[in-house]
Structure 1
Amino acid sequence: MTAETQATAAASGAGATARFRENKTIAAGTSTERVNALAGRLIKAVNDVVLEEKVSYDEYNAFKAWLIRVGEDGEWPLFLDVWVEHSVEEVANANRHGSKGTIEGPYYIPDAPVQQSPATLPMHEDEPGSQLLFQGEVKGIAGEPLGGAMIEIWHADDLGFYSQFAPGLPEWNLRGAITTDDQGKFQINTIQPAPYQIPTDGACGALIAAAGWHAWRPAHLHLKVSAPGYRLITTQLYFEGDEHVADDIASAVKPELVLVPTRRADGEGLEVTYDFILDPHHQDSEIAVDSSRGPN
């Protein structure tokens, strides 16, 4: 067994929690009225479940013990990103006219090594998995090419693990920040990510087993795409034919985000094409967008 496959939910969870604390600026100054409204509704919803489902003391104590374990395992980022973030993302991106967003997940790391397109993500010399060419353009909603746009990309390896969250992987394995050329075009060479189960040996895994759910996420590329004067988009891209596209445990798949892989002309692996359409920072809410300009 390799060091990579010895990754544990507790270690991954602790890493995700530490990264969240380092990288996230928590907005302060939320009004008392807003806190009252949100906390009050949440507490009422929990109590409604207790009353409607006639929750017993044994079930209540099991729930309490599980909540404690989520904290001990450092899995609050995982739990919230898997089961809650997709709704927050839907609210945040409701007024976009360009590319569809979806969840960030718990494994983003800022400040990845920057390369110009065409680029190859850092990886082992003998990285397992099929070669994948990911290419396309970054444009504004009027079709203008966005040269120098930044594409941050990260994804799991062929075993379903992320660098910096599993032992034995190079620091920036399968992570990068790629700038588009003058015409907004990009080419990124990487490997085909694998579907994977979220960590199941911790508190989230215990919930999944107790509820009889599955723990699988479809194979996907994580992306953050930005350009000066335009709104950053955080998204994921999936692959047609993956059996978990239809039942992603994180409920993050959208039809517009499913890629159709084709065989590369040189026969070396697969290629996928996707165009990112970015919204300007300040736009008229009545702006008319040609629907034919959607992502590929």
Structure 2
Amino acid sequence: MTQDTTEASAAASGASATDTFRRSGKLSKVEASQERVNELASALVGAANQIILDKKVSYDEFNALKAWLIKVGEDGEWPLFLDVWLEHSVEEVATEHREGNKGSIEGPYYVPEAPQPADNRTMPTRDDEPGTPLLFQGQVRSTDGSVLPDAKVELWQADAEGFYSQFAPNLPEWNLRGTFTVDEQGNYAIDTIQPAPYQIPTDGACGQLIAAAGWHAWRPAHLHLKVSAPGHELLTAQLYFPGDEHNDDDIASAVKPELMLDIQPAEGQGNQTTYDFVLDPER
């Protein structure tokens, strides 16, 4: 059952993330005007040049940057780099208008079309899945308070050792990935396990940057979700566990107070938590 962390290599994770991104349809061309491209590209290049001038970057440092950027591509780590260090700002811009639940980043480990379990309750796991059982339940409503009986809750997560299926070896394809429908009152209940905190892969270019800068590579334990309903905006979120030592210094800067779970002992084995989702109508 125990997997060596070196098995979930940066190269393998990067290749999986890149392949998943390509299959997601997000590569479709953005219809941006020449003025908008000029605005964004000029701002990016201008900011980079200003850093060089302000920080007196040497040719040796410039060449080290070029070598590192090449290595990011060779290691297939652009999805990881962009999702860890930049996506949280993109997500903030994309959802700043919302009145319902706060969202969070999707991250590099999402795989679409996770199957719906036959009982619409039990998260797909191995027969001997390690970890503390967790009952994750709640209700999905609209911002006007009405329940959304046609809502879906898509859940994916790391296992109790910090590994994601399809991004680490020796895990079933859909382990700890599932899609669930709510009942007529908008309620859902999912039996899963508590995930573990984990380090992003550190044997590639991103790990090289982390080591050189003296940063850490840890993400706090979290559940990933996509919650959808007809006529409403898709909510992508990560929910976090109180007491995790990296809630305050998440490498991906994705933790928000509104996303913290309230963990309570379950009546039987393990823990339980209730978290309601409020979705914004489509604009």
Structure 1 length-normalised TM: 0.92
Query: What corresponds to 2:22 in structure 1?
Result: 21
Contact 1:4 1:166 in 2 (8 A): no
Contact 2:85 2:252 in 1 (8 A): yes
Deviation at 1:133?
0.6
Q: 1:99-150, CA deviations, whole angstroms, 9 ceiling, x for partnerless residues? A: 0011000111111112477501111111111101100000111111111310
In structure 1, distance between residues paired with 2:30 and 2:129: 43
Greater CA drift, 21-30 or 203-212: 21-30
Contact 1:83 1:250 in 2 (8 A): yes
Greater CA drift, 72-81 or 17-26: 17-26
Structure 2 length-normalised TM: 0.96
Amino acid paired to 1:204: C
In structure 1, distance between residues paired with 2:96 and 2:153: 22
In structure 1, distance between residues paired with 2:119 and 2:87: 31
Query: What corresponds to 2:106 in structure 1?
Result: 104
- Between the two proteins, what is the percent identity of the paired residues? 65
Q: 1:246-271, CA deviations, whole angstroms, 9 ceiling, x for partnerless residues? A: 111100011000012110012x0011
Within 5 A, what are the aligned runs for 1:55-94?
55-94=57-96
Greater CA drift, 202-211 or 106-115: 106-115
Q: Structure 1 pair 112/173, CA: closer, same or farther in 2 (3 Å)? A: same
Contact 1:117 1:181 in 2 (8 A): no
Match of 2:242 among 240, 243, 251: 240
Size of the alignment, in residue pairs?
281
Contact 2:265 2:272 in 1 (8 A): yes
Within 5 A, what are the aligned runs for 1:1-296?
5=5, 6-25=7-26, 26-115=28-117, 119-266=121-268, 268-282=269-283
Amino acid paired to 1:67: L
Contact 1:224 1:233 in 2 (8 A): yes
Runs of 4+ residues deviating >4 angstroms: 1-4
Contact 1:230 1:279 in 2 (8 A): yes
In structure 1, distance between residues paired with 2:48 and 2:233: 36
Q: Structure 1 pair 223/80, CA: closer, same or farther in 2 (3 Å)? A: same
Q: Structure 1 pair 117/225, CA: closer, same or farther in 2 (3 Å)? A: farther
Cα root mean square deviation, aligned: 1.3
In structure 1, distance between residues paired with 2:201 and 2:135: 28
Q: Structure 1 pair 279/146, CA: closer, same or farther in 2 (3 Å)? A: same
Q: Structure 1 pair 210/154, CA: closer, same or farther in 2 (3 Å)? A: same
Amino acid paired to 1:198: I
Q: 1:213-243, CA deviations, whole angstroms, 9 ceiling, x for partnerless residues? A: 0111000000000011111100110011111
In structure 1, distance between residues paired with 2:99 and 2:203: 40
Deviation at 1:4?
6.4
In structure 2, distance between residues paired with 1:86 and 1:63: 23
